[in-house]
Structure 1
Amino acid sequence: MIPSSGRQERRINLSREEQWVLHHVMLDRMELEAQSPADTDPPSIAVYRVFEKLEAGTHQFSQSECQCLQDELRQYAEVVNTPKRDQPIADRLLDKFQQPESVSSTVKSLP
């Protein structure tokens, strides 16, 4: 498990289908990196942190993790072969992660 750095995190309420799409998006990103040539830049550490949190059932994300999720969801929604059933879910997730922090609860991580 990646230790917390004591930073502020946002708790995001996610439905089961939203959790599945997020998990799929992050896993797909890591698998793409594994298949890329050696000279390709790996994904940011936030990709791995988010995936680990999703695996653990945690829905609290730092600002950089929220930005990572937005970037990955945006790319996923734009890909031609994204399943049609996932596109509205990805759009809904983007809306959730773009909401001001005051709309979702903010918690301080324990050191």
Structure 2
Amino acid sequence: MSSTPPETETHEVTLSREEQWVVHHVLSERVDAALDEDEAPPTWTLDLFETIEAGEKTLTGAQARHLYDELTAYVNRDETPSEDVVHGSSVLSRLEELLEPAS
């Protein structure tokens, strides 16, 4: 009777229009990279696209962690526009607070 529990951890994340654009861009790059390698895009990217596009604010813990990882890589690139770094870093700060384990 040892089955994996469903993902029940959720986080409410409110994004400004500019932050939504940066998240959309990062997700698009992830999907495009998979397609360029003749691979299927990760399911989490498509699910998160749908969530963001629907204007929903609730992300699963897994979505929040994946987004955190992808945004971190994006804002740390030298070629990322400074405005994207500002908005992406803002989202990262909020995600980091949500994902920190409770002490």
> Any residues of structure 2 matched to 1:32-111 within 5 Å, and which?
32-36=33-37, 38=38, 44-100=42-98
Structure 1 gaps, min length 5: 102-111
* Contact map agreement 2:11 2:60 (CA 8 A) in 1: yes
TM-score (norm 1): 0.74
* Contact map agreement 2:9 2:60 (CA 8 A) in 1: yes
Q: Percent identity?
A: 29
Greater helix share, 1 or 2? 2
Distance 1:33 1:70, change over 3 A: same
Correspondence for 2:23: 22
* Contact map agreement 2:7 2:60 (CA 8 A) in 1: no
TM superposition shift of 1:45: 2.2
TM superposition shift of 1:82: 1.0
Correspondence for 1:108: none
Aligned residues: 94
Larger RCO (CA under 8 A, 6+ residues apart): 1
Q: Alignment partner of 2:10: what SS?
A: strand
Whole-angstrom CA distance in 2 between matches of 1:6 and 1:97: 17
Whole-angstrom CA distance in 2 between matches of 1:6 and 1:33: 24
TM-score (norm 2): 0.79
Structure 2 gaps, min length 5: 1-5
Moved over 4 A (4+): none
Whole-angstrom CA distance in 2 between matches of 1:43 and 1:81: 24
